Amino acid sequence: MSGLVRAAPEGTGPTASTTGDRPSTRPSTRSGTRPSTRSGDARRRAGRVPSTVVTLGVVSFLTDVSSEAVMAVLPLYVTAALGMSVIAYGVVDGLVQGAGALVRVAGGWAADRTDRPKWVAAVGYGLSALTRVGLLFAAGLPAIASLVVADRIGKGIRTAPRDALIAAAANPRNLGRSFGVHRALDTAGATLGPLLAFAVLWAIPDGWTTIFVISLGAAVLGVGALVLLVPDLRPRRAAWLRTHRTREDRGLPKCKGCTCDAAGGLETTGRPFSWSFLRGGATVRLLVVAGVLGLLTVGDGFIYLSLQDRDGFATHWFPLLYVGTNATYMLLATPIGRLADRVGRGRILVWGHTLLAAAYVCAAVPFPGAVTTVAALVLLGTFYAMTDGVLAALTSALVPTAVRATAIGTAQTVTAVTRMAASAGFGVLWYTFGSVDALWFAAAALAIAVPVCAYLIRGGRLEQDAEAVEQVPA
């Protein structure tokens, strides 16, 4: 019995909010529920982002402060303190990016299989926190390089389970908004981390260890917040309970006082994990759209470089260009998530790429100066707000709960891998035709691809309701 109770924690969990939210086609047989008040409560609750989502946002905030503080100063540390150039450090990087993308699917898969996304995510966060301990004792480049690798594997492991937790905790109707809130906090951490690290170096010129200590502290708090504050949501079990309302459905004896509580092979885990979600028409459609758009999304690095190639303003502020992008992303993630819930997440995801095209144009036009630089950064930040969290929300709503984390991981991997391919391909254009022509080309390709993708997802083809899929017990 205790297992069933834990699946519905304190009214903020998934079962409670989604139960109340559903139209009362299937009257609850649980005693003591008054349908009218429940739906009223639910409506009020739907207006709020669940505390679990905010807590997960804080976890990401702390973890990003921790990792980005280190990543930002690592090149300086390697040159200034270790007396080496960054070349050696860059060697491992490309390899790691690929490995990180694959680990993502594995992390999602593990979360789905065990139905314990919290603890899979905790492994990922924990691994990254451990690398901070290692950093305090690391001497020399090989050690640091391996720690960077371990850190990114940790990031790969945790991302999909974490997003599955958000999806499980959030009201399905405002998934976009919940992901928006999470991404805003996440990005705030990514912005603050480097600034904090440089402030430390300003006060303590050789304060590398201090940065590592702060980074470790933030990472420990992040893991602590996850382990101590986030409920151990069991999305698959909760979905099963949602679709098996009656005691008969659940295979329980009719009377409550019966002692044969767990008898009869009680199976509360619902439909088992299966890769067959990859055969679903809507899922494939989403992955294709994500892949096509990913192939036309070149790294921000190229935009920053071409801005910097073009004018002194961008060169002088080069280390800060990312702050402009992140600030925009942070501010717009929540309102755009909300908008996505209202007008359709697929639509926002696809049309967000027109802003990316506009950012390319801003970086390509021959009008150097602050205005086009700032415009490019704002467009880029808005693009991220319209795509990153929205993709996770879209995927979560599209697939059955049992495969949610894997599906999120897969969609993110498709995006990451196609973006890496895009950067490589764009690099060829960049060196063959020059930065300006290459950017115009990418913008033009996007201008063609966006309407095509919009056509592919027309008429809410990506807005399929996962709950409908789960109506029928397996």
Partner 1 sequence: MSGNPAFRGRLMFAVLTLVVLAGTAWYVAADFQRARAERNAPTQVEVAEDVLDGPHVLFRGTAPGDLYGRVAAVALDDLSGPREVTPVVCDRVSGQGSTTVCLRTRRGVVTTYEAEVLDEAWRTTATWPLPGVPSRTRLSPDGLVATTAFVTGHSYSQTGFSTETTVRDVDGTEVSGNLEDFTLLVDGERVAPVDRNVWGVTFVDDRNFYATVRSQSLGHTWLVRGDLTERTLVTVLDGVECPSLSPDGTRLAFKRDVAENGSATPHWTPAVLDLGTLEITVLDAEQRTVDDQLTWLDDATLLYGLPRADEPGTTDVWSLPADGTGTPAVAIPQAWSPSVVG
Q: Which is nearer to partner 1, 264 or 301 (CB)?
A: 301
* Secondary structure (H, E, C), 398-410: HCCHHHHHHHHHH
> 411-434 burial by CB neighbour count: b if 16+ within 10 A, else e?
bbbbbbbbbbebbeebeebbeeee
Q: Which is nearer to partner 1, 70 or 450 (CB)?
A: 70
Q: Which is nearer to partner 1, 27 or 140 (CB)?
A: 140
Closest by CA position to 288, among listed 373, 343, 349, 344: 349
Q: Which is nearer to partner 1, 201 or 390 (CB)?
A: 201
Q: Which is nearer to partner 1, 179 or 304 (CB)?
A: 304
* Minimum gap (Å) between residue 53 Cβ and partner 1: 16
* Minimum gap (Å) between residue 335 Cβ and partner 1: 23
* Minimum gap (Å) between residue 49 Cβ and partner 1: 18
Q: Which is nearer to partner 1, 82 or 327 (CB)?
A: 82
Quick one: 319 exposed, middle or buried, by C-beta within 10 A (0-12, 13-18, 19+)? exposed
For residues 343 and 370, is the Cβ–Cβ distance under 8 A? no
Give the ranges where 296-403 is alpha helix by DSSP (H).
300-310, 312-316, 321-343, 345-364, 370-398
* Minimum gap (Å) between residue 145 Cβ and partner 1: 6
Output phi, psi for 456, to 5 deg. -60, -30
Find the largest Cα–Cα distance for the chain: 79
* Minimum gap (Å) between residue 180 Cβ and partner 1: 19
**Which two three-digit tokens encode residue 130?**
């451990």
The CA distances from residue 13 to 50, 291, 390, in Å, are 8, 33, 21
* Minimum gap (Å) between residue 222 Cβ and partner 1: 10
Q: Which is nearer to partner 1, 154 or 176 (CB)?
A: 154
For residues 363 and 307, is the Cβ–Cβ distance under 8 A? yes
Q: Which is nearer to partner 1, 150 or 454 (CB)?
A: 150
* Minimum gap (Å) between residue 456 Cβ and partner 1: 26
**Which two three-digit tokens encode residue 447?**
């201008």
The CA distances from residue 379 to 77, 147, 317, 353, in Å, are 32, 34, 18, 10
Residue 113 host element (H or E):
helix 93-114
Q: Measured in Å, how far apart are the chain's first and last C-alpha atoms?
A: 22
Q: Which is nearer to partner 1, 213 or 456 (CB)?
A: 213
* Minimum gap (Å) between residue 360 Cβ and partner 1: 17
Q: Which is nearer to partner 1, 94 or 335 (CB)?
A: 94
* Minimum gap (Å) between residue 154 Cβ and partner 1: 11
Phi-psi region of 83 (alpha: psi -120 to 50; beta: other; left: phi over 0): left
Q: Which is nearer to partner 1, 35 or 301 (CB)?
A: 301
Closest by CA position to 337, among listed 382, 398, 404, 294: 382
Q: Which is nearer to partner 1, 258 or 428 (CB)?
A: 428
For residues 301 and 325, is the Cβ–Cβ distance under 8 A? no
Closest by CA position to 59, among listed 144, 117, 146: 117
Q: Which residues contact 458 (CB under 8 A, 6 or more apart)?
A: none
* Minimum gap (Å) between residue 96 Cβ and partner 1: 9
- Separation CA 271–CA 248 (nearest Å): 18
Let me know the angle formed at the C-alpha of 385 by 324 and 394, rounded to the nearest 5 degrees: 165
* Minimum gap (Å) between residue 244 Cβ and partner 1: 26
CA 287 from chain centre, in angstroms, equals 16
* Minimum gap (Å) between residue 137 Cβ and partner 1: 13
